Structure 1
């Protein structure tokens, strides 16, 4: 089992293709995860992306986009280890896990805000990505 384990999900009232377009823009990755180097292991298009992670952590990360009526559920997974040979103290691991959970939520809510902008509640999403 990895020391850093994050699993989260967020509903987005947007089509998977629109989410994938923003998610696939590599310039966003540096902003969302500035201390990680991401290498695409599998670009799954409107179903998400899988990465190999290096830098501040070593492991794998995935955003899986699950199509549902009226949008998609963004599933975020991170399984990684700190680069140090010695196992960090429990408090440090807890803090690192929290930091990574917050980064995942920040990414998900930025996508949600951007792609749902201007859409009244209860109105189906458009098929075009937000500007």
Structure 2
């Protein structure tokens, strides 16, 4: 099991066909994760991206956009280990790992809420998803 485990999801009321424009924008990656170096393993366009991650942590990260109703669920996963040695004291080590997880969870939430905001635009609650095809 890796030390840093983040899994999160959020519903985005926008057509999945719009997701790649935000999720695939490499300039945003640097804003969302400024301390990480990301190497694309698989670019799935509107379905998301998989990366290897290096920097203060090393591991894998993924955004998966799963079509759902008239929008999609943005899933976010991070599995990584810290690069710097952890303290020998078990309690201190546990506290440091917990803080690393907390900070990575916040970064993931910030990313997902920004993606949601960018993709939904000025959509009002209860109105059709942005870019959805009305049958």
* TM-score, with length taken from structure 2: 0.89
Question: Is the 2:66–2:72 Cα contact (8 Å) retained in structure 1?
Answer: yes
Q: CA deviation at 1:125?
A: 1.8
How far apart, in 2, do the equivalents of 1:17 and 1:57 lie? 31
Query: Residue 10 of structure 2 aligns to a residue in which SS?
Result: strand
Secondary structure of 2:111's partner? helix
Q: For 2:81 and 2:108, how far apart are their aligned partners in 1?
A: 16
- The worse-fitting range, judged by mean Cα deviation, of 64-73 and 109-118 is 109-118
Q: Which residue of 2 aligns with 1:98?
A: 102
- Give the CA RMSD over aligned residues: 1.5
- Once the two structures are overlaid, the 10-residue window that deviates more, 26-35 or 86-95, is 86-95
Deviation at 1:72, TM superposition (A): 0.3
Counterparts of 1:4 and 1:17, CA distance in 2: 31
5+ residue gaps in structure 2? none
Cα-to-partner distance string for 1:20-67 (whole Å, 9 max, x where unaligned)? 211111100111000000000000111110000001110000001000
Question: Secondary structure of the equivalent of 1:5?
Answer: strand
- Distance in 1, Cα, partners of 2:6 & 2:47: 19
Hey, what's the Cα distance between the residues in 2 that align with 1:85 and 1:25?
Answer: 33
Which residue does 1:67 correspond to in 2?
67
Q: Displacement, 1:86?
A: 4.0
Q: How many angstroms apart in 2 are the aligned matches of 1:101 and 1:85? A: 21
- Aligned partners of 1:49, 1:17: CA distance in 2, in Å? 14
Gaps of 5+ in 1: none
The TM-score normalised by the length of structure 1 is 0.92
